[in-house]
Amino acid sequence: MNKLLFSLSLLSTILLSSCSRYGSVSLNYPLNPKVVVPGNVHTIALVNRSLAAPKSKERLKNLAEAIYTGEVGGSDKNASEECLRGVFEEVRGKRAPQIVIPTKMKVYGTGSREIPAPLNWKSVQTLCDSTGAQALLCLESFDSNTDALVNTAANVIGDLISKRTNNPIPSQVNMNVISYWRLYYPATKSIVDEYRCVRNSSFQTNGIGTFILPPDALQHSAFSSGIEYISRLLPDYYRVTRLLYKRGVGSEAWEFKRAFRRAETANWKDASEIWQQLARSKNRINAGRACLNMAVCNEVLGNTEEALVWARKSYEDYRNKLGRDYTNILLERKRIGY
């Protein structure tokens, strides 16, 4: 079991009630990522291929298209870079492959939402080699449209034909942002993942400022698109709660409280020393509770096998029912591979 996969979200230890015998600890339970990156990939090169080459026919065509479709401020170039920044920020501080951007080679695409053909493997390998990467993540296309200009142009034309005036200003502007990603793995010449991210946003204009969107609307949507994609490669988590005893019986009750206070501050080392002593208690109730707490402590620290030993001991030796339930939970965790 990988101890680092089972991370702790503990500092907000929840007391079920001030007089309860139980306390609890919350853990982030790991889920596999949507896309499994090959195990030897430690560095991923990241490139923006969403722009057309300078002075190309595609660039001129896209300029006309931007006017017709209402591209947001003609700023898709800047927004596509926000996609890349979203990737960087999402992996920051996480156990994930390092992201690097090649500086010696640029790649170009269609400059629109049209998806280009995959890069040839020689180019992929060159981009990877230039950064020491084992894989290449490519933003293949990026495009944004807003219906503000399209609707207004249609209304103006309609007014001219019918000789109407004072056409009402639309009260809502809709923005559509599409990005398309590919993850290349040159070692086997395979495309590990292809993904199309679509984001739609609506903004109320209150009848004025038809052409004006929030200044950061496109950038925010693009940034979120980068986060959405790279999250496919990262493990996810869901929250689970484990019960442990904060109270014992008889003369050892104080020792349980002392150990539990240490657990509340994530001082599991000192807490476990107290519980191990209590696990040898002549009082079977206290011994069973201490064994259960040792099981929780070991799971928190990533020692799943040791946690299972203590949970079994709690039930088999001392008939603690929480130990039986906890044993089944840990066995299921082993079965699914976490």
CATH 3.40.50 fits 43-236, yes or no: yes
Q: Do residues 140 and 180 touch, judged by C-beta distance below 8 A?
A: yes
pLDDT tens per residue across span 282-300: 999 999 999 999 999 999 9
Which numeric CATH code is attached to 3-30+244-335?
1.25.40.10
Tokens of 258: 């002392």
Mean pLDDT of 172-184: 89
Residue 44 binned pLDDT confidence (cut-offs 50, 70, 90): very high
3-30+244-335 and 43-236 agree in CATH topology: no
Residue tagged 């998806």 (tokens): 115
Residue 76 binned pLDDT confidence (cut-offs 50, 70, 90): confident
Q: Do residues 330 and 308 touch, judged by C-beta distance below 8 A?
A: yes
Chain center to CA of 24 = 26
Q: How far is CA 213 from CA 176, 209, 330, in A?
A: 13, 8, 52
Map out the domains of the chain as residue ranges: 3-30+244-335, 43-236
CA dihedral over 130, 135, 140, 142, signed as positive or negative = negative
- The SS3 assignment for 31 reads strand
- How far apart, in whole angstroms, are the C-alpha atoms of residue 320 and residue 286? 10
pLDDT value, residue 184: 98
Residue tagged 């965790």 (tokens): 333
- The SS3 assignment for 153 reads helix
- How far apart, in whole angstroms, are the C-alpha atoms of residue 203 and residue 217? 9
